[in-house]
C-alpha cells in the first residue's frame, strides 16, 4: 500500500508537468510506478487491487457517457463510431504485422496496441489472456507516451497543412428579453409559443410595468416584454418574429419576480423529471439546468440528478422556502448511491463472464473490463429503474474514475518495473517504432477519411479522433486547438464503444 500511494502521489505531480504542451494527468502514475517497481519489485500490491481500480474507472465511465453513447447510435454519431471502428481494426492488423516484422511476442504486441490506443481496459484484457505476465504492461508503458502526445501533434499539423480555421463555438443556450412590436396582436402565451421556432421557451413576461410568470393562458400584447430561452439560432429567429431585444426590462426589476439558484441535493428528486418532481411551495419556472459544465434546456422531460444546479424564476421573497425544498447543499455534488454501485458492478462482472462463441470455434468474453463498461453504459442511459437511480453527480463520478484509474496503473506498473527495465534495454526502440506506426494508423485514417471523404466538421472530427485514441488528455488538447469544447460530443459518443472494441481486439490478437 505504501508503494502504491507513493506511486499515485508522485505520478500526479509528474502528470502536471507539460511535455510538448501535453500533460499526462493520471497517466503519469504509470511511469512513477515503473520506477518504484524497478527499485523494489517485491513491493507490488496484489493484482486484485489493480482490477478493483479498473472496475471503478470503467463503471464511472459508462455511467457518465451512457446517454451520449446511446444517442450516438443514430444520426451522424453512427458514422463517427463506424469510422473509429475501421481505424481501430486497421491498427490491430498494423500492430500484428509490425510486431511480427520486429520480432515482438504476441503479448508485447497486444500491450503495444493498448498503449498506442491509451486503453487501460485493453491492457487488463491483454494481461488476463496472456496469463498475468509483464509483457503486455511493458509494451503498454513504452507505447503510452506516443499514444498521448502523437494525436495532439497530428491534429495540430492537420490544422496547419489544410489551413483550417476552427469554427467559433456558439453557446448551448441563450436568454433574451424581447419587447413586442406595435403590430403584435394581444394573444395568450400559449398562442405566442406555438408561433415561435422549435426549442424556444417563454419563461416570464412583463405586463403593465410588472413582472409575472408566463402562464399559458396569460394575455400579452404590443409593448409588453417576454423573457425567452433556447438555442442561439432559434432565439435570433424568435426575436425577429416578436419585436426588439431590449436587455434589462425584466432582469432589473426584482420587486415582484426574482431569480433563485438552487442545488438539487434531496433524495426525493433523484430520477424525477421536471414535470414529476415534488411540487415546490410556490409557483416557479425553471430557466436553466446546469449539470457539471453542461447547460440544458429545461424541458419537462429532463431527469434530475444529484448536484444539478437549477435557475428558478419565482415570487420575490420565496428564496428560503425554495432552498429548503430542493436541499441546496453542496454535499449533493459528492453523493454516491452505493446500492446502485454495488448492484451495477455486480451485474457488469456477471455479464463479463459470459463466453461469446466465434464462427469456426473458440470465443471471447467481455471480461472484468468490458462487462462492467457495457452494463454501466446501459444503466447510465436508463438513468433509473426499479426505484434505483444509477447516475451520479459529475464531480463524484470524476473522483471515482480518476482514483480507480490511478490504482490500476500504479499496481500494474509496480508489478512490471523490473522486467520493464530489462526489456526496454533490448526491445524498447522496436516497441517505440511499432507504437508510432499503430498510432499513425488510427489517427491518420480517422482524420483523412473523416475530412476528405465524410466531410465531418473539424471540431466534431477532432472529438472522434480523441475518442478513437482514448486518453482524456487528447480531448483536452483538441479543445485547446479548437478553442472550444464541442469536441466533447464526439468523444462521448465514440470513446465507450471503442473501449469495448479494443478489449475484444486484444483477445482476438492473443486468442
The whole-angstrom separation of Cα 466 and Cα 455 is: 17
Task: Give the closest residue to 211 by CA, choosing from 140, 124, 315, 312.
Answer: 315
Work out the angle between the directed axes of helices 367-382 and 47-71 (0-180°, nearest 10). 40
The pLDDT score that the predictor gives to residue 445 is 95
Q: What is the 3-state secondary structure (H, E, C) of 430-493?
A: HHHHHHHHHHHHHHHHHHHHHHHHCCCCHHHHHHHHHHHHCCHHHHHHHHHHHCCCCHHHHHHH
387 exposure class (CB count in 10 Å sphere: 0-12, 13-18, 19+)? exposed
The two counts, helices (H) then strands (E), for the chain are 17, 15
Q: Rounded to the nearest 5°, which phi and psi values hold at 342?
A: -65, -50
> pLDDT digits over 364-379, tens only?
778 887 889 889 999 9
Q: Spell out a b/e string for 223-243, using b for 16 or more CB atoms within 10 Å of the CB, else e.
A: ebbbbbbbbeebbebbbeebb
Residue 358: CB atoms within 10 A of its CB come to 12
The pLDDT score that the predictor gives to residue 453 is 93
The pLDDT score that the predictor gives to residue 446 is 95
The β-bridge partners of 220 are 187
> pLDDT digits over 18-51, tens only?
876 667 777 788 889 889 988 988 888 988 898 8
Task: Give the closest residue to 334 by CA, choosing from 383, 390, 289, 399.
Answer: 399
The whole-angstrom separation of Cα 338 and Cα 97 is: 45
The pLDDT score that the predictor gives to residue 5 is 94
The whole-angstrom separation of Cα 437 and Cα 21 is: 22
| DSSP state string for 147-204 | HHHHHHHHHHHHHHHTT--PPPPPPS-EEEEEEEPTTPPPEEHHHHHHTSPTT-EEEE
> pLDDT digits over 192-203, tens only?
999 899 889 888
For residue 290, what is its C-alpha cell?
A: 446546469
The pLDDT score that the predictor gives to residue 106 is 92
Strand, coil or helix: what is 212? strand
Q: Rounded to the nearest 5°, which phi and psi values hold at 510?
A: -90, -15
**pLDDT beneath 70: ranges in the chain:** 20-22, 166-172, 293, 331-335, 360-362, 485
- Kindly state the helix (H) or strand (E) to which residue 364 belongs, with its residue range: strand 363-365
Domains in the chain and their CATH numbers? 2-167+338-510 (no CATH), 174-333 (3.30.70.1450)
Q: Spell out a b/e string for 78-108, using b for 16 or more CB atoms within 10 Å of the CB, else e.
A: eebbebbeebbbebbebbbebbeebebebbb
The whole-angstrom separation of Cα 483 and Cα 479 is: 6
Amino acid at each position: 500500500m505504501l508503494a502504491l500511494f507513493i506511486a499515485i502521489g508522485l505520478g500526479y505531480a509528474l502528470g502536471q508537468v507539460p511535455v510538448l504542451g501535453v500533460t499526462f494527468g493520471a497517466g503519469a502514475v504509470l511511469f512513477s510506478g515503473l520506477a518504484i517497481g524497478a527499485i523494489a519489485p517485491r513491493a507490488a500490491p496484489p493484482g486484485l487491487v489493480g482490477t478493483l481500480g479498473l472496475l471503478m474507472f470503467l463503471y464511472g465511465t459508462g455511467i457518465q457517457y451512457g446517454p451520449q453513447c446511446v444517442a450516438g447510435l443514430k444520426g451522424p454519431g453512427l458514422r463517427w463510431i463506424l469510422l473509429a471502428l475501421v481505424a481501430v481494426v486497421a491498427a490491430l492488423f498494423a500492430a500484428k504485422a509490425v510486431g511480427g516484422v520486429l520480432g515482438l511476442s504476441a503479448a508485447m504486441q497486444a500491450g503495444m496496441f493498448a498503449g498506442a490506443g491509451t486503453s487501460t481496459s485493453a491492457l487488463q484484457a491483454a494481461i488476463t489472456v496472456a496469463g498475468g505476465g509483464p509483457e503486455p504492461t511493458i509494451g503498454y508503458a513504452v507505447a503510452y507516451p506516443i499514444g498521448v502526445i502523437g494525436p495532439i501533434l497530428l491534429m495540430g499539423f492537420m490544422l496547419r497543412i489544410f489551413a483550417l480555421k476552427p469554427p467559433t463555438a456558439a453557446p448551448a443556450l441563450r436568454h433574451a428579453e424581447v419587447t413586442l412590436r406595435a403590430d403584435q396582436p394581444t394573444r395568450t402565451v400559449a398562442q405566442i409559443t406555438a408561433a415561435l421556432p422549435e426549442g424556444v421557451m417563454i419563461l416570464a413576461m412583463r405586463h403593465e410595468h410588472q413582472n409575472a410568470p408566463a402562464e399559458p393562458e396569460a394575455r400579452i400584447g404590443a409593448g409588453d416584454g417576454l423573457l425567452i430561452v433556447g438555442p442561439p439560432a432559434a432565439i435570433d429567429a424568435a426575436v425577429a418574429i416578436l419585436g426588439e431585444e431590449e436587455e434589462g426590462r425584466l432582469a432589473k426589476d426584482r420587486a415582484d419576480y426574482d431569480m433563485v439558484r438552487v442545488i438539487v441535493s434531496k433524495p426525493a428528486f433523484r430520477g424525477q423529471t421536471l414535470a414529476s418532481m415534488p411540487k415546490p411551495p410556490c409557483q416557479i419556472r425553471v430557466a436553466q439546468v446546469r449539470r457539471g459544465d453542461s447547460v440544458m434546456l429545461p424541458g419537462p422531460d429532463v431527469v434530475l440528478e444529484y448536484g444539478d444546479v437549477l435557475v428558478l424564476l419565482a415570487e420575490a421573497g420565496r428564496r428560503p422556502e425554495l432552498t429548503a425544498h430542493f436541499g441546496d447543499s453542496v454535499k449533493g455534488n459528492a453523493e454516491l448511491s452505493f446500492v446502485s454501485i454495488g448492484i451495477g458492478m455486480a451485474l457488469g462482472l456477471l455479464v463479463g463472464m459470459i463466453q461469446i462463441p466465434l464462427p469456426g470455434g473458440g470465443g471471447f468474453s467481455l471480461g472484468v473490463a468490458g462487462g462492467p463498461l457495457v452494463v454501466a453504459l446501459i444503466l447510465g442511459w436508463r438513468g433509473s429503474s426499479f426505484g434505483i437511480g444509477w447516475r451520479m453527480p459529475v464531480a463524484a463520478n470524476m473522483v471515482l474514475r480518476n482514483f480507480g484509474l490511478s490504482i490500476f496503473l500504479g499496481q500494474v506498473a509496480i508489478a512490471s518495473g523490473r522486467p520493464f527495465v530489462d526489456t526496454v534495454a533490448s526491445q524498447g526502440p522496436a516497441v517505440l517504432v511499432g507504437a508510432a506506426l499503430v498510432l499513425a494508423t488510427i489517427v491518420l485514417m480517422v482524420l483523412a477519411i473523416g475530412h476528405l471523404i465524410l466531410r465531418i466538421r473539424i471540431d466534431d472530427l477532432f472529438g472522434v479522433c480523441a475518442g478513437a485514441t482514448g486518453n482524456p488528455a487528447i480531448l483536452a488538447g483538441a479543445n485547446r486547438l479548437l478553442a472550444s469544447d464541442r469536441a466533447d460530443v464526439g468523444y462521448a459518443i465514440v470513446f465507450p464503444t471503442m473501449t469495448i472494441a479494443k478489449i475484444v481486439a486484444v483477445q482476438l490478437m492473443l486468442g
